[in-house]
Amino acid sequence: MQKETQPVNQPNPFEKVIEFVDERVGLKTIQAKMMNEPIPGGSRWAYAFGSILLFIFILQVVTGILLMFYYVPSTDHAYDSTQYIIHEVDYGWFLLSYHFWGSSAMVVMVFAHMSQVFLWGAYKKPRELIWLVGLALFGIVMGFGFTGYLLPWDQRAYWATVVGVEIMDKTPIVGDFIARFLKGGPTPGQMTLSRFFVIHVMVLPAALMGLAGLHIFLFRKAGPAGPFRGTPEELKAKTDYFFPRQIWKDIVGMATVFLIICSLAFIEPVVLLEQATPDPGDYHPEPEWYFLFLFQLLRLKIFGGEFGQFMGAMAIPGAFMAFLAVLPFIDTKPERNIFKRPVALIGWIFIMVFILVFTWSAIINREFLD
């Protein structure tokens, strides 16, 4: 009698599903390409910022959509619907607070990512376009913060917007148009709220998705810059692959940021002030924390008066952004080592100290306002 033999290596149902998908979309090729991408010079914690940013943005979209199920973008209902989200919707307080702190985390991560690219000299040829698109993305993230801040329609939101729009109004030529377009009337009202809402949930997400896609495409085209020290041979000898070391660092980075945002949502959740009115009362208008340094700068006597305010609020920040935009085209030396670029290193330290000192000063300054 012939013995029946069991076929070996017969795929199980799960493997069959994987095979089915792979045959149609090339799953295994995508996986191999992504996981086994070489990282010249080895993996680094500093390379995790880009992945973390993408992760935060995805969660901002998810929490934002959930909030939109309840939020009403009208001056009659914006405040009440936000209070409803905080007090009546199950877990609404947590979702709103997560979304609020997530926006701050995005700003911090964009700043960290830009600093890393600057210090590593990764904006230099052939990565100039990646840098420029990155700057545009920085502007979009700031735009998200500015437009989202008005939506709860409380005193803090209203007056931060009034201050922000007044600053924009000081821009030469286009300032008046931008201010009128954003406000939609002489004072912030329904038109302002509608416009900020549409920009926040439609225009900026679309722009960010498009530009982030372009950013990643350009990055993959140019390849990772790698460390700023070492010869090509040394870097090749130290090459890691995305899996396991870089993906581990990315996962740890994402988990850390996610957990920090969740903890902040618990410890400092969003609590609204009184509903927005055109009378500030006892409230001292203040922008979001990441604009505090600029706000404090404008309190200095040197920036007093119409011209001083224009210089502090528009001319200096505008010139700084313009300088960042042309940086790859004026700094054409191939040297990337930050310790051999003393001007860049000192400049970066100066900017960091300036932001830190003026933000802290703005916090201390609150005691002197009453």
Partner 1 sequence: MSNIKLGLLVSWPTFWTGFPIKLVFALLLLAGHMHPWEGTGFFLLLLVSIPIDIWALGLCARTVFIDRLKVDPQPGLGPNLWIRWAVFSAIALPVIKIIVSEGTGVAKSVTSSIVHSFKEGLYPALGVAEQITLELVMWGTVATGVLILCLLGWLYGLGWLTQSFVKNAKSLDGTEEERASFWDGLRIPADQPLLLTAFTGAGVVLVFVFWALLPSTTPHPHEEYEFISTGPKEEKVEPKKVLKEAEKVLAKAELVVKKLEEEKGGESKDSKDQKTKEPAAKEAQPEKKK
For binding to partner 1 (CB under 8 A), which residues are involved?
A: 31, 35, 42, 45, 80, 83-84, 86-88, 90-94, 237-240, 243-245, 247, 251-252, 255-256, 259-260, 262-263, 266-267, 269, 271-272, 274, 296, 299-301, 357-358, 360-361, 364-365, 368
Contacts of residue 189, defined as CB under 8 A and 6 or more positions apart, other chains included, come to 75, 183
Specify the length of the chain in residues.
370
Q: Give the shortest CB-294-to-partner 1 separation in angstroms.
A: 13
Please, which residue, 88 or 176, has the CB nearer to partner 1?
A: 88
- 364/330 Cα distance (integer angstroms): 39
Q: Can you point out the beta strands (E) in the chain?
A: 38-39, 240-241
Inter-residue contact 88 to 69 (CB < 8 Å): no
Please, which residue, 180 or 366, has the CB nearer to partner 1?
A: 366
Q: Give the shortest CB-248-to-partner 1 separation in angstroms.
A: 8
Q: Give the shortest CB-236-to-partner 1 separation in angstroms.
A: 9
- 47/154 Cα distance (integer angstroms): 39
Q: Give the shortest CB-95-to-partner 1 separation in angstroms.
A: 11
Please, which residue, 115 or 171, has the CB nearer to partner 1?
A: 115
Q: Give the shortest CB-244-to-partner 1 separation in angstroms.
A: 5
Inter-residue contact 35 to 240 (CB < 8 Å): no
Please, which residue, 65 or 322, has the CB nearer to partner 1?
A: 65
Inter-residue contact 317 to 310 (CB < 8 Å): no
Please, which residue, 45 or 323, has the CB nearer to partner 1?
A: 45
Helix axes 128-150, 190-198, angle to 10 degrees: 140
Please tell me whether residue 5 adopts helix, strand or coil conformation: coil
